Amino acid sequence: MYNIESNSPQNLLIIRVEGELTEWQIKNGRRAIKEEIKLLKKGFTVINDISKMLQTTQNIANQIRKIQLLLFNAGMGQIVRVVGNPVSKRQMVLNSDSIGYNAIEVESFEEAMDIATDIVKYNH
């Protein structure tokens, strides 16, 4: 499952991923992310909750990398990643390292929101 939402006043994009992603879900998730980032300004913060995401196939991991690259090229400022499954975490880290950005890793969505709120306060 993919859940994507944006918060324009906070310049925040929230991406939650649960379970095993399918080709269809990743394609629709990418489309939704493209639409949501149109509502945000350069330097936007991303919360990426992968704490309930299962390990993916190499093809899906490659598609996720394309989404990470899309966010990076769209002007993403900081990403806060909620981690859980160590294999899923490793896949995300390998992708982000190859693109050239680092995520702040936390263990809960609440902690991610606190950090994102601090980032918004700092940037205003």
Beta-carbon contacts of 101 under 8 Å, excluding residues fewer than 6 positions away, are 72, 76, 79
Give tens-digit pLDDT for 35-56: 999 999 999 999 999 899 888 8
Say how far apart CA 22 and CA 57 lie, in whole Å. 9
Tokens of 75: 């002007």
Please give the structure tokens belonging to residue 54. Answer: 């299962």
Report the pLDDT value the prediction gives residue 80, as an integer from 0 to 100. Answer: 94
What is the crossing angle of helices 23-37 and 58-73, to 10°? 0
* CB half-sphere exposure, 114, CA atoms < 13 A: 8
Helix, strand or coil for residue 111?
Answer: helix
Low-confidence ranges of the chain (pLDDT < 70): 85-98, 123-124
Give the list of residues 6+ apart from residue 7 with CB closer than 8 angstroms, or none: 13, 14
Whole-number percent of the chain with pLDDT over 90: 54
Residue 2's pLDDT is: 83
Q: Say what the pLDDT of residue 29 is.
A: 93
Give the pLDDT score at 89: 62
H or E stretch covering 77: none
Walk me through the domains of the chain, giving residue ranges and CATH numbers: 2-123 (3.30.750.24)
